[in-house]
């Protein structure tokens, strides 16, 4: 992807995003429907996954609800039909994402690529063209940040920040790809971005932050809580003006704790690998869905529409800007509630509440009586990347014991549990635990939380 084409599209798209933010709900709906019609017409002219169905319906005026509902596993099974550029192959993408030195680099010179974490049972690879990334960048810069109001102000401020991303830095995950991509696009700010791995001991994370002295910290809510507790003890001593959270559910209590202990604003964000900037917070602390560039369908267990004010069983996502890897009526797996009324901040975008994963840090017994903290995102990443486990649950039994559960049975489960036990014990040792006992159990029906998702890490 050339920087020139990206910058040109970003400028145009940013103007559109700014204009939409100053319009009214009627104009947002008109933008959304025009983009949907354009997307469906373009897909109908091709030979991909949706072409046959759309050609059968376009004459009568296709309705989104007439299209089939699709899930991640099916899209990956039909990958070659899904992508619209025949130069993109699943084998090529897997080879690309297997190389951690290429995080943030363009695939085939023109596509941005990231992986999903596999939190709903199966990982996937997502490809973004220059138009999709311009949409993403405009939404991220103009709607995510509560501090600025214009593209120029946002760019100037972001480039004067010292941004620390505290997360998983070793894989082609969306947040890390975005950070590396920013460093590649704007090398003069590379020294003001620091990527800190949560796979190292918490003390090492704290030390790296103390040295870097960020003005903004982007991380997961569970990590933000752990860092706030370190700030309270005096081990961490930084003074950011903002903490940006995402990737997990941020409760009111967690927000208040982090804001108080860190003495700064906390801003939450809702996104997914399928669409990185689904919703951003306004000054009132409400999440506004970016419905000028996406469609969210809250539905019940039988995929029937759920009215505003009622929680959905799951949500269907339609991405209105990605032409290379179209996403239509995709089962996102998240439970949302659409507010029936407007927000008093004045935004024309609808307010949503999201019930997502909110796994807690595990406080374990370390060496010499010192505590050791095992962060949930670090644990789940290790289980996926090193043990090859995507369906599992970790239960803390006491300060030295975890129980690893999987629903599978037989020889595969035995081998997977053995890998998982070794990975967990090696990781715990690096975190300062003298010994971790791992109870391995197979054939266990995994417990689901209130949101319908399986919490992967359960504290004692």
Q: How many CB atoms lie within 10 A of CB 307?
A: 9
Nearest partner of 335 among 360, 310, 318, 358, judged by Cα: 310
pLDDT 10s digits, 319-370: 999 999 999 999 998 889 999 999 999 999 999 999 765 677 899 998 888 8
- The reported pTM is 0.81
C-beta separation of 281 from 275 below 8 A: no
Q: What is the pLDDT of residue 88?
A: 96
**Which residue intervals of the chain bear CATH 3.40.50.12780?**
3-355
List the beta strands (DSSP E) in 93-141: 112-115, 125-128
Q: Give the pair of three-digit tokens for residue 42.
A: 């373009």
The answer for residues whose C-beta is within 8 angstroms of residue 30's C-beta and 6 or more apart is none
Q: Residue 153 has what pLDDT?
A: 38
d(CA 223, CA 407): 28
* CATH class, 362-458 region: alpha beta
What pLDDT, on the 0 to 100 scale, is given for residue 385?
A: 81
Low-confidence residues of the chain: pLDDT under 50: 1, 3-4, 60, 147-158, 450-451
CATH architecture of the domain covering 3-355: 3-Layer(aba) Sandwich (3.40)
- The predicted pLDDT at position 26 comes to 94
CB 348 within 8 A of CB 397: no
For CATH 3.30.300, list the domain ranges present in the chain.
Answer: 362-458
What is the predicted pLDDT for the residue at 121?
54
Instruction: Report the pLDDT value the prediction gives residue 148, as an integer from 0 to 100.
Output: 40
Q: What integer pLDDT is reported at residue 66 of this predicted model? A: 79
Q: What per-residue confidence (pLDDT) applies to 118?
A: 60
């Amino acid at each position: 992807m050339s920087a020139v084409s990206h910058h040109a599209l970003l400028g145009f798209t940013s103007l559109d995003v700014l204009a939409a933010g100053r319009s009214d709900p009627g104009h947002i709906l008109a933008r959304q429907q025009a983009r949907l019609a354009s997307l469906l017409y373009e897909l109908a002219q091709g030979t991909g996954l949706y072409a046959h169905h759309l050609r059968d319906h376009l004459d009568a005026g296709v309705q989104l609800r007439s299209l089939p509902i699709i899930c991640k596993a099916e899209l990956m099974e039909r990958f070659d039909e899904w992508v619209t550029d025949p130069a993109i192959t699943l084998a090529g993408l897997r080879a690309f994402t297997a190389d951690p030195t290429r995080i943030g680099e363009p695939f085939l010179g023109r596509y941005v690529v990231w992986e999903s974490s596999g939190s709903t049972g199966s990982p996937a690879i997502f490809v973004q063209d220059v138009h999709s990334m311009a949409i993403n960048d405009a939404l991220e810069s103009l709607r995510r940040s509560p501090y600025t109001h214009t593209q120029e102000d946002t760019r100037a401020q972001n480039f004067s920040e010292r941004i620390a991303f505290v997360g998983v830095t070793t894989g082609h995950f969306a947040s890390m790809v975005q950070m590396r991509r920013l460093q590649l696009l704007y090398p003069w700010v590379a020294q003001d971005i620091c990527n800190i791995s949560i796979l190292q001991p918490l003390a090492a994370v704290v030390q790296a932050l103390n040295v870097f002295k960020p003005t903004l910290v982007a991380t997961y809510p569970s990590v933000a809580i752990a860092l706030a507790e370190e700030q309270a003890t005096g081990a961490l001593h930084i003074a950011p003006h903002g903490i940006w959270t995402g990737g997990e559910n941020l409760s009111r209590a967690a927000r208040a704790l982090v804001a108080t202990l860190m003495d700064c604003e906390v801003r939450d964000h809702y996104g997914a690998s399928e669409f990185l900037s689904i919703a951003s917070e306004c000054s009132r602390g409400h999440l506004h869905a970016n419905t000028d560039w996406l469609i969210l369908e809250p539905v019940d267990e039988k995929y029937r529409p759920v009215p505003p004010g009622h929680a959905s069983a799951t949500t269907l996502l339609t991405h209105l800007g990605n032409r290379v890897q179209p996403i239509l009526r995709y089962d996102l797996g998240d439970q949302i509630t659409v507010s029936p009324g407007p927000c008093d901040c004045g935004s024309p975008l609808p307010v949503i509440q999201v019930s997502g994963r909110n796994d807690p840090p595990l406080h374990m017994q370390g060496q010499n009586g010192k505590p050791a903290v095992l962060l949930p995102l670090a644990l789940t990443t290790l289980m996926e990347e090193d043990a090859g486990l995507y369906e599992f649950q970790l239960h803390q039994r006491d300060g030295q014991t975890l129980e690893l559960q999987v629903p599978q049975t037989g020889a595969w489960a035995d081998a997977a549990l053995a890998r998982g036990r070794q990975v967990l014990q090696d990781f715990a040792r690096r975190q300062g635990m003298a010994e971790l006992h791992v109870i391995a159990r197979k054939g266990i029906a995994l417990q689901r939380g209130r949101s319908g998702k399986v919490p992967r890490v359960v504290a004692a």
